[in-house]
Amino acid sequence: MTDFTPYHEEQELDNNTSDNVHFRDILEQAITRRSLITKTASGAVALTLASTLTACGSDSDSGTTPPPADPKKLPTKLSFTPVAKNLNDIVTVPEGYEAKVLYALGDSINQSYGAWDDNDIPSGPSFQFRSGDCHDGMSYFGLNTTTGRYDDTKSDHGLLVLNHEYINQTFLHPKGPTKDTSGRRPEDEVIREVNAHGVSIVHVKKDSKTQAVEILKNSIFNRRITASTEMAFAGLAANSSLLSTRFSPSSSKTRGTQNNCGNGYTPWGTYLTAEENFIGYFFRSGADQYERTANENVALGRYGLGLEISYQDTAKTIENKDAQGRTLYKDKTSRYQWETALAGVEDQDMYDRWNASVVGTSATADYRNIPNNFGWIVEIDPFDSRQAPVKRTSLGRFAHEDCRTSRAIEGQNLAFYMGDDSRGEYIYKFVSDTKWDAKDINGGYAAGDKYMNSGKLYVAKFNADGTGQWIELSTSNPAISGYTTYAFADQADVLTHARIAADAVSATKMDRPEWVAVNPNNGEVYVTLTNNSNRGTSYTTDAANPRNYTDPVGSNGKGNVNGHIIRFREDADTTTATTFKWDIYLFGAEAQMLENVNLSGLTDNNDFSSPDGMWFDPRGVLWIQTDDGAYTDVTNCMMLAALPGTMGDGGKATALSGTATQDTFMGAKVTDENLRRFLVGPKDCEITGVTMTPDYKAIFINVQHPGEDSTAYNNATSHWPATQTDPTNTTARPRSATVVITRKDGGVIAG
């Protein structure tokens, strides 16, 4: 990859080399879609039937049915017209619904700053008051305009809080990213990029008659949190020497949050943002290999900052040596090279902090520990701009995709469920020591201290018999305290290197755990496992990750090509349970694939690939979003609505695993009435982030990185969002944006 190749999550390396699941070579046969995966004739019949059903409208009503008497009631079936798969450069929604672009990259959230202009890109510093890039996880918080505080009944005013995961450099700068003759990034570009990361908080107002939603640009609640914003550490790893830096020798604080992917929210009214692929932001020199202890090098490698040996030959047999005759290691470059900028507007320390090499006399004199300042769940109180956001270290450090809180039940401990999105990584939960008390609603960061600082962190192990265990990550576990690969100093070390502790207890390596959703009606927990091109090779199939097959189209054409959604139910329905039962709710697939690949029985109305974003709305409608590269020859990424049953409503199943099969447990096959495609996005995008107003009359989603495969700023593959109102536009820059969807009749979404 060249320095400025657009970033894709698929580029993230496998860093899990632990041997807790034995490596097994599986010879992959040349399976083509047409020879083995496709059901040919029978598949064609299924497709025809599905289209006929759509055309006749069977249960659909073109979105004109009046809202049900109780809009908060879970619908018994989905009745909107399913959206057809398509490759159009527009957000397509069901008949009777309308989609409006609300908040796009560069949009101002302050009256003093002008609008975004494709031909006059705003300055880097101005992005402290503008939308960041690559919109991702998102939550709506009802706003009581009298008290200025959280009120989950308010649909007319609310704070929309959303992540800006990373940046599409091609379109963020006037002519794409640049470097000066000495290879340094210009400061204004770096400031723009740093500010385009983080989180937005925007005040939205909805007209109760027309359902029209707008951003109030003059609201005092509007603000940006960026990769420079000061934030505090709290929890068991706060003040650990593992986190100390020149900026904060006592490890009490740091600057910035970045690669904020999925999200969560707490029952007391705060937002949780997840730091995912944070490691790629740091530079590490090759010479740093010899500045570190063996233990440190293990930890850096497990989190993706290990160094590669420099070889003289392409066969990698002759090592280069340094002046002292030692093996020479290559520098690890950072994704955006922010560490190369020279100070002008900012202090030099703002750029030096992205260099994770030993350059000073101690850890308090440089930024050798800076990678340990990231990879946390960060709590943000959208209603409180005076206090700094808080990184909650007790929830562990890894490539956090998402964080979902259990149902808030008076007198029960709260659980926070989390995925680590890389191939072969794990699912975790944190259980608070404190039991929920509804009096803490609007308790802000003090409530966060109460429920998120003290508790137990567990990792999941999925057994072949449909049961599972939560294994506590604690120094009191001999498998952790006696682990030979890495020596843990204390519990702060276990939390900071949670991945290594999870290796030590033989957790189950999953197919890239992405978002988590908790069913409000029964507490069952769903986790999207987006795909795993190495399932069946580096990672053998198992009951919880059962499929390995080949799709000849697209870059993710092998292993678990289309992903699945696993769900589990805690034993005795308690958050403190250390055992659970699981099944696979849904398998992604193309409708025409073989029955032992398309196990859920998807049809043309609901087939999908690579589930990622996912959320249960408070009624219990499950929203599923895709970030796909395997089915994108047929359709852009999408969002589906689902009405799932319960864990165990299916039974045993047999999945295709290479040339053999793998036994598993799955839920009931889906039907056209309980899983339907609600939306298809524009070209080269991901659909991610979903939230609603409490009256269910407006749903918000994010379109991330439209046109990401473009080769240059003036050669775009997408012109969205301009195309949403002008489909003939062929010149506008593609921009990530939040979209609000309402019904033309003002009714309830999916009601």
Rule CB under 6 A: which residues touch ligand FEO?
9, 165, 261, 276, 401, 421, 514, 612
| Residues 6+ positions from 10 with CB-CB distance below 8 Å | 533, 555, 556, 629
Taking the complex as a whole, the smallest distance from the CB of residue 512 to Ca ion amounts, in Å, to 7
Nearer to ligand FEO, 276 or 381 (CB): 276
627 touches Ca ion (CB under 5 A): yes
Give me the amino acid identity at 494: V
Taking the complex as a whole, the smallest distance from the CB of residue 165 to ligand FEO amounts, in Å, to 6
Nearer to ligand FEO, 140 or 515 (CB): 515
Taking the complex as a whole, the smallest distance from the CB of residue 530 to Ca ion amounts, in Å, to 5
Contact segment (CB under 5 A) with Ca ion among 167-175, 483-491, 555-563, 620-628 equals: 620-628
Q: Using an 8 Å Cβ cutoff, are 258 and 399 in contact?
A: no
Residues 206-265 that bind Ca ion (CB under 5 A): 261
Q: Using an 8 Å Cβ cutoff, are 16 and 422 in contact?
A: yes
Residue 165 contact among ligand FEO, Ca ion, none, beta carbon within 5 to 8 Å by kind: ligand FEO
Taking the complex as a whole, the smallest distance from the CB of residue 309 to ligand FEO amounts, in Å, to 29
- Three-state DSSP state, 556: coil
Taking the complex as a whole, the smallest distance from the CB of residue 134 to Ca ion amounts, in Å, to 10
| Residues 6+ positions from 74 with CB-CB distance below 8 Å | 521, 619, 620, 621, 643
Taking the complex as a whole, the smallest distance from the CB of residue 514 to ligand FEO amounts, in Å, to 5
Q: How far is it, in rounded angstroms, from Cα 285 to Cα 340?
A: 13
165 touches Ca ion (CB under 5 A): no
Residues 634-663 that bind Ca ion (CB under 5 A): none
Structure tokens at 305: 């900052």
Q: How far is it, in rounded angstroms, from Cα 67 to Cα 623?
A: 19
Residue 276 contact among Ca ion, ligand FEO, none, beta carbon within 5 to 8 Å by kind: ligand FEO
Taking the complex as a whole, the smallest distance from the CB of residue 136 to Ca ion amounts, in Å, to 6
DSSP 681-696: --TT-EEEEEEE-TTS
Nearer to ligand FEO, 371 or 563 (CB): 563
Residue 551 contact among ligand FEO, Ca ion, none, beta carbon within 5 to 8 Å by kind: none
Q: Using an 8 Å Cβ cutoff, are 708 and 168 in contact?
A: yes
Exposed (0-12), middle (13-18) or buried (19+): which is 661, by Cβ within 10 Å?
Answer: middle
Nearer to Ca ion, 261 or 737 (CB): 261
Nearer to ligand FEO, 164 or 735 (CB): 164
Nearer to ligand FEO, 488 or 631 (CB): 631
Nearer to Ca ion, 107 or 511 (CB): 511
**Eight-state DSSP code of residue 267:** T
352 touches Ca ion (CB under 5 A): no
Contact segment (CB under 5 A) with Ca ion among 16-24, 193-201, 281-289, 622-630 equals: 622-630
Taking the complex as a whole, the smallest distance from the CB of residue 627 to Ca ion amounts, in Å, to 4
Quickly list H helices, 254-370. Answer: 294-302, 349-352
Taking the complex as a whole, the smallest distance from the CB of residue 12 to ligand FEO amounts, in Å, to 8
Structure tokens at 710: 């473009």
Q: How far is it, in rounded angstroms, from Cα 486 to Cα 608?
A: 40
3-state SS string over 424-435?
EECEEEEEEEEE
Taking the complex as a whole, the smallest distance from the CB of residue 403 to ligand FEO amounts, in Å, to 13
Q: How far is it, in rounded angstroms, from Cα 608 to Cα 602?
A: 8
Contact segment (CB under 5 A) with Ca ion among 222-230, 555-563, 610-618, 628-636 equals: 610-618
- Three-state DSSP state, 740: strand
Structure tokens at 599: 């196990």
| Among candidate residues 75, 158, 84, 125, the one with its CA nearest the CA of residue 226 | 125
Q: How far is it, in rounded angstroms, from Cα 61 to Cα 71?
A: 17
Beta bridge partners of 455: 432
Q: Using an 8 Å Cβ cutoff, are 589 and 473 in contact?
A: no
Residue 275 contact among ligand FEO, Ca ion, none, beta carbon within 5 to 8 Å by kind: none
Structure tokens at 466: 């449909």
Nearer to Ca ion, 563 or 694 (CB): 563
Nearer to Ca ion, 136 or 352 (CB): 136
Nearer to ligand FEO, 258 or 541 (CB): 258
Q: Is the peptide bond before 94 cis (omega within 30 degrees of 0)?
A: no
Taking the complex as a whole, the smallest distance from the CB of residue 261 to Ca ion amounts, in Å, to 5
| Residues 6+ positions from 311 with CB-CB distance below 8 Å | 317, 318, 319, 320
Taking the complex as a whole, the smallest distance from the CB of residue 611 to Ca ion amounts, in Å, to 9
- Helix (H) / strand (E) element for 459: namely strand 455-462
Nearer to Ca ion, 261 or 418 (CB): 261
511 touches Ca ion (CB under 5 A): no
Strand ordering across the sheet containing 97-104: 97-104, 737-743, 698-704, 686-692
Site size with Ca ion, rule: CB under 5 A: 4
Residue 151 contact among ligand FEO, Ca ion, none, beta carbon within 5 to 8 Å by kind: none
Q: What count of Cα atoms within 13 Å lies in the side-chain half-sphere of residue 280?
A: 20
Residue 583 contact among ligand FEO, Ca ion, none, beta carbon within 5 to 8 Å by kind: none
Nearer to ligand FEO, 401 or 551 (CB): 401
Nearer to ligand FEO, 75 or 280 (CB): 280
- Three-state DSSP state, 640: strand
Taking the complex as a whole, the smallest distance from the CB of residue 421 to ligand FEO amounts, in Å, to 4
Contact segment (CB under 5 A) with Ca ion among 2-10, 168-176, 455-463, 599-607 equals: 2-10
Taking the complex as a whole, the smallest distance from the CB of residue 425 to ligand FEO amounts, in Å, to 10
612 touches Ca ion (CB under 5 A): yes
Nearer to ligand FEO, 61 or 709 (CB): 709
Strand ordering across the sheet containing 253-255: 253-255, 230-234, 390-392, 377-380, 271-275, 260-265
3-state SS string over 17-61?
CCCCCCCCCCCCCCCCHHHHHECHHHHHHHHHHHHHHHHHCCCCC
Site string (258-297) toward Ca ion, x via CB under 5 A: ---x------------------------------------
Using CB under 5 A, list all residues that contact Ca ion: 9, 261, 612, 627
